[in-house]
Amino acid sequence: MTTPRPRTIDEVLAAARSRLHRLTPEQAQAAHESGALVVDIRPEAQRAAEGELPFATPVERNVLEWRLDPASDAALPIASHDLEVVVLCQEGYTSSLAAAALQELGIHRATDVIGGYAAWRAWLDRRA
């Protein structure tokens, strides 16, 4: 039996994104306004340094699956396999991997934001 060739992070990221319907900041804002849960997975220090969206729920990446898996003892009360979840990181890389991991748990409406918090913040600033 041949050992499969290891994948690069770029290949893993591309595979994750191929399963997602990624959102622009404008689409993510509309999803939020329609009831989607926006989850900010950035560490607290990064949120403090870069800023936050006031409506986003902070759930750091290392506990994301436990907080959103409805079968987990640590699940948020809102956790559901049908929950629309928009995952947010700083630039939209880690969030793609995280949203794909949520889909692996059966949270089929999980996705992320193209460009992450930086793009969403810039879009909001242009609208102001």
Q: Which CATH architecture best describes the domain 22-127?
A: 3-Layer(aba) Sandwich (3.40)
pTM: 0.93
By annotation, the residues acting in catalysis are: 89
Q: Each residue of 64-91: pLDDT tens digit?
A: 999 999 999 999 999 999 999 999 999 9
Spans of all domains in the chain: 22-127
Q: Residue 2 — very low, low, confident or very high, per pLDDT cuts 50/70/90?
A: confident
Q: Are 60 and 94 within 8 A, CB to CB?
A: no
Q: Residue 40's closest CA among 61, 16, 22, 68?
A: 61
Quick one: pLDDT at residue 1? Answer: 76
